[in-house]
Structure 1
Amino acid sequence: MSELTKTAVTPSTHTAPPARFSHGVRKGNILQVAGQVGFLPAVPGQPPTPAGPTLREQTLQTLANVQAVLEAGGASWEDAVMIRVYLTDTGHFTEFNEIYNAFFAGLTQPPAARTTVYVGLPGGLLVEIDALAVLG
């Protein structure tokens, strides 16, 4: 892959985005993962389905979806340098951090920098996460 080539990254578990963007884009050793939500893996002919109504269910699926894009782009969580979290409810911050800390407990390198903001999301979605990774 040329250092100047920009490549779209779409795991087989993901549906086509609802607008003209990529789930991930890799250029050189940089991989940007677009905001992912807690949809279960895609089923052909069916609309996207949230993992469940709870913050825990949606957060774990969202992290799995980000991880799928990272892996499809040749990266892992160890390569992540920035993670942005979008929550719909300020009351979810403490619970989210508990889930997040447990998920990343096995990292061997320093964790990524993180920003958390509060937003509105459609259709009962509670969390969205994106990531920026720099590959070795």
Structure 2
Amino acid sequence: MTDAIQSSNAPKPVGHYPHARRVGNQLFLSGVGPRDPASNGVPGNVHDKAGTLITYDIEAQTRSVFANVRAVLESSGARWEDLVDVTVYLTDMARDFKTYNAIWAEFFPDAGAAPCRTTLGITALPTPIAIELKCIAVIKE
């Protein structure tokens, strides 16, 4: 049995898919970005007068994406501590990995209790964001 989950506390998906799908005690999250759930804006993005993105703040986006993942987890009956595997997509690995990695360590201070993680450098994401997370959690019943 599978259950699709939509969270009113996370940004709306940018496509036709649920925030998460629960299968038994496993929870699979769709890719989650840092967009603000209320405004749909991207924290830390700076645009010129023509609307072209000129810079972004990876710290603001990382903190925001973590908050959005937490919102989806909580809407699904899971907790931050239930994460078991995270795939991270960064659009500029050379520039952003160090900052992102330091924030990760704040949120997961005990490496032995942290979820497994894979971080990939990619050329683009579907919206003007610099980070996206794909997560799997196991809900403890």
On the 8 A contact 1:78/1:109 being kept in 2, the answer is no
Aligned residues: 127
Q: Where does 1:79-98 land on structure 2 (aligned, <5 Å)?
A: 79-91=82-94, 92-98=96-102
Q: Which residue is equivalent to 1:132?
A: 136
TM-score (norm 1): 0.85
The reply to whether residue 40 of structure 1 matches residue 43 of structure 2 is no
Partners of 2:44 and 2:61 within 8 A in 1:
yes
What is the CA distance between 1:35 and its match in structure 2? 0.9
Quote how far apart the aligned CAs of 1:9 are. 1.4
CA distance in 1, matches of 2:15, 2:81: 29
In 1, are the aligned partners of 2:92 and 2:121 still within 8 Å (CA)?
Answer: yes
Aligned equivalents of 2:23, 2:134: Cα separation in 1: 17
Change (3 A) 1:61 1:112: same
Q: Does the Cα contact within 8 Å between 1:83 and 1:131 map onto a contact in 2? A: yes
* Worse overlay, 77-86 or 14-23: 14-23
Contact 1:78 1:108 in 2 (8 A): no
Q: Which residue of 2 aligns with 1:31?
A: 27
Q: Cα distance 1:25–1:94, how it changes in 2: closer, same or farther (>3 A)? A: same
Deviation by residue 1:23-63 (Cα, 9 ceiling, x = unmatched): 111121010111111111235xxxx2112220011110001
Give the aligned partner of residue 116 of structure 1.
119
Letter of the structure 1 residue corresponding to residue 105 of structure 2: N
Matches of 2:115 and 2:15, distance apart in 1: 28
**Superposition deviation, residue 14 in structure 1:** 3.1
Of residues 115-124 and 28-37 in structure 1, the stretch that sits farther from structure 2 once superposed is 115-124
Contact 2:31 2:133 in 1 (8 A): yes
Gaps of 5+ in 1: none
Q: Provide runs of 4+ in structure 1 moved above 3 Å.
A: none
How high is the sequence identity, in percent, across the aligned residues?
A: 35
Query: Which blocks of at least 5 consecutive residues in structure 2 are unaligned?
Result: 46-56
State the Cα distance separating 1:121 from its structure 2 match: 1.7
RMSD: 1.8
Q: Normalised by the size of structure 2, how large is the TM-score?
A: 0.82
Secondary structure of 1:129's match? strand
